[in-house]
Structure 1
Amino acid sequence: MRVSWPREANDAATVTVVVPCYNYGHYLPQVVHSVLTQKRVAPRVIIVDDASPDGSVEVANALADDDSRISVVSHAKNMGHIATYNDGLARVETEFVTLVSADDIVATGALSRATDLMRAYPRVGLVYGLPTEFRGDPKPSWEEDGARRSNWTIWRGKEWLLWSCLRGRNFIFSPEVVMRTSAMRQVGPYNKDLPHSADFEYWLRTAADWDIGRINGPSQAYYRVHGKNMHITTYSTLQIDLEHRLAAFRVLATAEVTRRLPNGDRFLELAMRGICREALLLAERNLDSGGPTGTSLEFLEVAVAAYPAAAETLRGRTLSYRLRRALAGAAPTGFQNFTESYRHQLNRARWVAWRKVGIS
């Protein structure tokens, strides 16, 4: 890892923002405006409407009629979000590309910050940053966010990959990612067999062959939180999230990746242990907080699926002891309460580290 100060490129980079849309037509003007008002880049927008029944395509076409930098792709029938992503990405002709949901917003200056980094470091294929969650409409003060001082973190791809495997975590949210189009072409399309962790798998495939950059400081994207978010409406539990992470990590042992990452099976083994540790830790935390034993048993199932010898590890034996006490009706001990408080503080420290350099 290295930390670098930003330096501006001499000319404007060409960037295409692919906007997949399904029933989000009322959000389209906002996200398109956030793209076309970006400074020091030459932006284009491709809106891909996936047969929305709410009139989204009419909104998209009206926007395209007003600005030649916008093009619209309209599906005759609903193809699902992965096919929609791939359809839009296949049409990109610019040097850089990003995929932004119709309900999210590109932060002021985000595209120039990301492309400056990739132009300064030709081996960096993907840049991410800090996403900010919001509800309702964005606040005007956010326009000033781009003025915040920033720096860059540059990771060798395999180094970033190792940290992700060891922690069993995805350090990237998604709307803040900007890629080098040549890297996107090499990585290939999103995996249709992983509809709920395809983005994470995509970052893993990218890191197998490209370095990873991160913008530290200002927000790179605004992620809208509402009742229709996929992760809220369908995949809201941490157990399921862990299962999807594990499914994404399995790409590391595929022939596609091992051609570029000869020790991919070793990375996968580390990732499986990382998922196991994470699941066992969450099971412990649930019990230490006085949560239901059923939840911890579900976490234990995830841990065993990732690493069959999970119950034999030190953390697994510790969890077994806690489960026996909880099943017998015993309340968490003072030590358990203290441990949970310590873990809470440790998580805060890791959150600060993630904000600073992009991993935790």
Structure 2
Amino acid sequence: MSAALPRVSVVIPCFDYARYLPDSVGSALAQHDVDVDVVIVDDASRDDSVAVAEALAAQHPRIHVARHRENRGHLATANDALGLASGEFVVKLDADDLLAPGSLARSAALLRAHPEVSFCYGWAEEFTGTPPVLPEDPGRGFRMQVWNGDDWTRRVLRRGHNVIRQPEVMIRRTALERTGGYDHRLPWAEDLHLWLRLAARGAVGRVAGPTQGLYRVHEKSLMRSAGDLELTDLRWRIAAIDLFLLEHPGGRYEVDELRALGLSSLAREARALAARGFDAATALADDLDARSGARPIRSLTARPDALGDAWRDVAGRLRWRRWRRFGV
């Protein structure tokens, strides 16, 4: 490998994902125009994940395997994996997800062209079952988009959703070291918290155009492990934003402004959930409105009738289109 190529560490936390591991690792090793090393950290898997990982390492000198003797949970495993990264840039890839062809070269090109950027992301396509087949080298059609970190934070808080799935993210290792990894107090939405903290310390980039990652949806994924998935996710996003604002380096006025943006947006989402029969969401929305300090906004998405159903469907479609086109 030429020393001029960007060095990228792809870190893969793994627990009981032996069946997915070869494809995940393979998607990293197949990347072109970058110098890739792969770190697999197994969290005391009960299947043959370790055997699969060690067999892969025996075939590829760029793969390093570490293992926990006792299960430590997904956050500790992810942080251990991040801590073992030695490349200029770092990609955390869950063992059931995949990198799109050419994604690392595109992300690394953006980070090298814009040294002020802490991390960049792109579009991650969801799939179930067999991964979709993507073009081998779609690199010519992408463009670079860069936001000031504060501007990106305001856009994300105004939306209230996590706009990043994760296999599409590349982080500058020096920015990661300054920021720290995932916060153990957030077993859910810990990634949203990390993106906000990184954005508070640098600019944010986006690879616009081609698919950058493939996000596998299946019944055993962490995001499918909660009974009331949408309400659980909302509550943890609230906790992530609260924690971010508590530690935000800005002044009181800036923090108050960000709180009003984030919590009022989440309050509208809570009222939409209440309209769909999540009774606990009503009290949650009232609390968010009160804490935001902003004037409560009553949207059509909060109507518990057919008009509300129709408007929620339209709003969801528009939100998806905006996300796909603009990245926020």
TM over 0.5: yes
Deviation at 1:279, TM superposition (A): 1.5
Deviation at 1:145, TM superposition (A): 6.9
* Contact 2:107-2:207 within 8 A present in 1 as well: yes
1:85 to 78, 93, 96: 78
1:186 to 174, 178, 181: 178
* Contact 2:301-2:311 within 8 A present in 1 as well: no
The change in CA–CA distance for 1:128 and 1:235 in structure 2 (over 3 A counts) is farther
Residue 300 of structure 1 is matched in structure 2 by 282
Residue 120 of structure 2 is matched in structure 1 by 127
Letter in structure 1 aligned against 2:164: I
Listed one character per residue, the Cα deviations across residues 144-164 of structure 1 (whole Å, up to 9, x for unaligned) are 473572222211110010111
Deviation at 1:189, TM superposition (A): 2.0
Deviation at 1:47, TM superposition (A): 0.1
TM-score (norm 2): 0.91
Q: Secondary structure at the match of 1:258?
A: coil
* Contact 2:117-2:204 within 8 A present in 1 as well: yes
Residue 313 of structure 1 is matched in structure 2 by 296
Give, in whole Å, the separation in 1 of the partners of 2:168 and 2:176. Answer: 15
The change in CA–CA distance for 1:201 and 1:156 in structure 2 (over 3 A counts) is same
Letter in structure 2 aligned against 1:74: R
Q: Secondary structure at the match of 2:210?
A: strand
2:105 to 100, 105, 112: 112
Counting aligned pairs with the same residue, the percent is 37
Give, in whole Å, the separation in 2 of the partners of 1:224 and 1:216. Answer: 21
Q: Unaligned stretches of 5+ in structure 2?
A: none
Q: Secondary structure at the match of 2:19?
A: helix
* Contact 2:10-2:37 within 8 A present in 1 as well: yes
Letter in structure 2 aligned against 1:279: A
1:34 to 13, 24, 27: 27
The change in CA–CA distance for 1:216 and 1:316 in structure 2 (over 3 A counts) is closer
Residue 13 of structure 2 is matched in structure 1 by 20
Give, in whole Å, the separation in 2 of the partners of 1:318 and 1:30. Answer: 40
Deviation at 1:302, TM superposition (A): 2.0
Give, in whole Å, the separation in 1 of the partners of 2:216 and 2:300. Answer: 41
Say whether 1:356 aligns with 2:304. Answer: no
Give, in whole Å, the separation in 1 of the partners of 2:301 and 2:164. Answer: 31
Residue 250 of structure 1 is matched in structure 2 by 242
Give, in whole Å, the separation in 1 of the partners of 2:311 and 2:81. Answer: 46
Letter in structure 2 aligned against 1:171: V
Matched residue count: 325
Give, in whole Å, the separation in 1 of the partners of 2:102 and 2:207. Answer: 11
Give, in whole Å, the separation in 2 of the partners of 1:122 and 1:303. Answer: 40
Deviation at 1:260, TM superposition (A): 9.0
1:152 to 132, 144, 153: 144
Say whether 1:345 aligns with 2:327. Answer: no
Deviation at 1:252, TM superposition (A): 2.8
Give, in whole Å, the separation in 2 of the partners of 1:259 and 1:267. Answer: 10
TM-score (norm 1): 0.83
* Contact 1:242-1:302 within 8 A present in 2 as well: no
* Contact 1:252-1:267 within 8 A present in 2 as well: no
- RMSD of equivalent CA atoms: 2.6
Letter in structure 2 aligned against 1:221: G
Say whether 1:271 aligns with 2:253. Answer: no
* Contact 2:102-2:136 within 8 A present in 1 as well: no
Give, in whole Å, the separation in 2 of the partners of 1:148 and 1:200. Answer: 30
Give, in whole Å, the separation in 1 of the partners of 2:252 and 2:52. Answer: 44
Q: Secondary structure at the match of 1:307?
A: helix
The change in CA–CA distance for 1:171 and 1:137 in structure 2 (over 3 A counts) is same
The change in CA–CA distance for 1:190 and 1:261 in structure 2 (over 3 A counts) is farther
Listed one character per residue, the Cα deviations across residues 108-128 of structure 1 (whole Å, up to 9, x for unaligned) are 000011110111111111111
Deviation at 1:224, TM superposition (A): 1.2
Give, in whole Å, the separation in 2 of the partners of 1:135 and 1:202. Answer: 27
Q: Secondary structure at the match of 1:103?
A: coil
Deviation at 1:269, TM superposition (A): 3.2
Q: Unaligned stretches of 5+ in structure 1?
A: 1-9, 287-291, 324-331
2:41 to 11, 23, 48: 48
